[in-house]
Amino acid sequence: MEVTTADTQATEIREAAKKIITVPPDSFALCPVRDILDRIGDKWSLLSILHLGSTDSLRFNELRKRITGISQRMLTVTLRALETDGLVARTVYAEVPPRVEYALTGLGQSLLAAVIELGNWAAAHAPAIAEARERMGRVAA
Amino acid sequence: MEVTTADTQATEIREAAKKIITVPPDSFALCPVRDILDRIGDKWSLLSILHLGSTDSLRFNELRKRITGISQRMLTVTLRALETDGLVARTVYAEVPPRVEYALTGLGQSLLAAVIELGNWAAAHAPAIAEARERMGRVAA
DNA sequence: ACCTTTGAGTTACCAAAAGTAACCATAGGC
DNA sequence: GCCTATGGTTACTTTTGGTAACTCAAAGGT
């Protein structure tokens, strides 16, 4: 990695960050990024998107089993929110017992790519974070 | 865009998602992605990272002004968490009144790129989401 | 001398969100 | 006629987030 390239990249990244957090003053509401992060920026949404992205579609209880630790209520709430935002499609089959399938929409798929980046980062830097936590833990103790 | 390329990409993305959510069974704890998303996957953390990423460093109150709507308490809590995870560096200058500067660490910078992707996605798809919400709003009402 | 201001927090208190657990509808099988 | 399975909902509790008041320590005004 040449230094100049790295520097240029760093500046670009900073500019990108600036652009995102800049509120368009003529916008009727607050900046869309802020609004959207409010909605999808929570662990259950991100995890749901990742799990739905890893297959074609999943039934409610199957998804619940896969997202370890999520409660039934939180799963319904999360899926409903994702549905109203157009990220997840909910298909009900009129059978008994009922069968409901959830899948990412096109919009959801496009988000998936970004979430995967986040996931990859987490996987890659988990050791560094664990180390930082331990360092800090010592200080706090 | 050729169809085959798109298809290949879609498959790759799915595989990537699968990899991320897969818990290494020999891992002592739960999957790192799960754990890390728990921490950084909330709106205040993501917004803090974006704002800190847009400059060299920011003082506490300056950051507070920029992250519209965050409370003093939540900002301290969020920054502390980011600090213990090694994403943010906190520098205290022994002055009166006190001066405290926050900046992304190298680790934080590396996360910034992924968060920006998320932000870009939000900016790009805000209209689509708004439309979806309206469609759903009608149904619910 | 005393009061105010300033920055970066705490602390105490209250509202909102998330977690827990029990309940529901329906049909098929035993 | 009772139990199971599925995909929820409802009532209740606990945890989290938001609001507002207080703190510390020095400088500056009066």
pLDDT digits (tens, 9 = 90+) for B91-139: 999 998 999 999 999 999 999 999 999 999 999 999 999 999 998 866 5
The overall average pLDDT reported for chain B is 89
Q: Which domains are seen in chain B, by residue range? A: 3-140 (1.10.10.10)
* CB-CB under 8 Å, B50 with A17: yes
Residue of A nearest to B140 (CA): A84
Which residues on chain B are in Cβ contact (under 8 Å) with A112? 13, 17
Select from B84, B18, B136 the least CA-distant residue to A84.
Answer: B136
pLDDT digits (tens, 9 = 90+) for B11-39: 999 999 999 998 766 554 557 788 888 88
Q: Is residue B78 a contact partner of residue B63, using CB atoms and an 8 Å limit? A: no
Distance CA A30, CA A32 (A): 6
How many angstroms away from the CA of A95 is the closest CA of chain B? 23
* Ramachandran region, residue B122 (left: φ > 0; alpha: ψ -120 to 50; beta: rest): alpha
Q: SS3 for B39? A: helix
How many angstroms away from the CA of A55 is the closest CA of chain B? 7
pLDDT digits (tens, 9 = 90+) for A65-103: 999 999 999 999 999 999 999 999 999 999 989 999 999
* CB-CB under 8 Å, B83 with A18: no
| Amino acid letter, A20 | I
